[in-house]
Structure 1
Amino acid sequence: MRSNVNISAIARTASACAVKRLILCGNAKLISKIARDGADALEVDIHRTLPPVLRAYREQGYRIVGLEQTTHSQNLHHYTFKERTVIVIGNERLGLQADVLAELDDVVEIPVWGMPHSYNAASATAMALYEYCRQFPLGG
C-alpha cells in the first residue's frame, strides 16, 4: 500500500474491530493523528515481502483471504470467514500482486454499483472487517 493516510485509517478501523496485528510492507508509516488510539492497541509488523509471512500464518492454521476483484472472487456478502483469518489488502492502484494472489486461500470482493469500479482501500478494509466482526462478534 502506498498511502500512509490509508494505512493509518486502516489501523484505526482495525483497532476498533479488535484486530491484534497489522502487517505492513515497504516504507509504511502510521500517522498518529489519523490512526488516533488505534496505533497503540495494535501490534504492527513491517516486512520486506508478504508471501513468506502469509505462508507462515497458513502453517499456523490461518485462512488467507485477499480483498480484490478477480474472475474467481466471492461476494463479501455471501462469504463465510473462518475464525482464524488473515485479510490481505493490496496497493491502491495495482491491487494485489501475482505473488500474493498465489498465496491466497480465497479472494473476496465488495460489489460496486457505480463509478469508479472499486472502493478506496481504507473504506474496503473497513467493510471487510465489519463483516468479519458481524460473523464473529466476540472476536477471532
Structure 2
Amino acid sequence: MQMSDFEHLRHKPPTALDEPRQLIVACCQLRSNVNLSRIVRTASCCAVSRVIVTGNMKIDPKIARDGAEQLPISRHRSLPPVLRDLKKEGYRLVGLEQTTNSVDIHHFSFVRNTVLVIGNERQGTPDDVLRLLDDVVEIPVYGMPYSFNVATATSMALYEFCRQFPTG
C-alpha cells in the first residue's frame, strides 16, 4: 500500500455502539483542573455513561472540549456512599492504583458494569475507598517515575476497557 492509498480524514464520526457503555469513572478528589479536564475528555471519547467527581475542581471546557457538554457529570462531597450505592446496583468497583495485590491491567478482564475508581495524583486512593473495591488494577511502568500521570493512566485504562468491549 502506498501513501496515496490513504485519505486524510480530520475527524471520523463516532463508532456506533450496540448498547450504551455501563462504565462509570469515579474520581477521588484530584489536585489539578487540567487532569480532571483531560479525564473528562477521554471519558467522553470512550462513551462512558457518566463521571463522578469529588472536591471542588473545575472542568476546563477548552481541555475537556465536547466532553464537558455531552457527558453527565455528578459532583459529590464524599465518594464511599456513592460507591456503595453503585455496588448495590450491580456495578463492579475497579480501582486504578498500585497496591500490594493489584493486578497488571494486561491480565485483567473487566465486566460490562464497571466503575473505574481513580485516586488522587499524590496520595493515591484513600483507605476508605480502597476497602470498597472489588479489584485493583495497575499499569506497569518501565522507567521513572514510578507511575503515570493520573489522566494518562485513566486514558490507558479506559482504552483497555473499550478494547475488551468494542461494541458497548
Q: Give the whole-Å Cα distance in 2 for the aligned partners of 1:46 and 1:103.
A: 19
Equivalent in the alignment of 1:43: 72
CA deviation profile, 1:95-123 (whole Å, cap 9, x unmatched): 00000000100000000010000000000
The offset of 1:133, in angstroms, is 0.1
Equivalent in the alignment of 2:48: 19
- Give the residue type in structure 2 aligned to 1:66: G
Gaps of 5+ in 2: 1-29
1:84 matches 2:103 = no
Q: TM-score, normalised by structure 1?
A: 0.98
Q: Secondary structure of the equivalent of 1:99?
A: helix
Question: What aligned pairs does 1:56-71 form with structure 2 within 5 A after superposition?
Answer: 56-71=85-100
CA deviation profile, 1:60-104 (whole Å, cap 9, x unmatched): 000000000001000000100000000000100010000000010
- Give the residue type in structure 2 aligned to 1:53: V
Given the alignment, which residue of 107, 116, 119 partners 2:145?
116
Q: Give the whole-Å Cα distance in 1 for the aligned partners of 2:129 and 2:105.
A: 19
> CA RMSD, aligned part only?
0.5
Q: Secondary structure of the equivalent of 1:125?
A: helix
Given the alignment, which residue of 32, 47, 59 partners 1:3?
32
Gaps of 5+ in 1: none
- Give the residue type in structure 2 aligned to 1:82: V
CA deviation profile, 1:43-66 (whole Å, cap 9, x unmatched): 000000100000000000000000
Q: Give the whole-Å Cα distance in 1 for the aligned partners of 2:72 and 2:31.
A: 20
Q: Secondary structure of the equivalent of 1:117?
A: coil
Q: Secondary structure of the equivalent of 1:108?
A: strand
Q: Secondary structure of the equivalent of 1:22?
A: strand
Higher-Rg member (1/2): 2
State the identity as a percent: 64
- Give the residue type in structure 1 aligned to 2:63: I
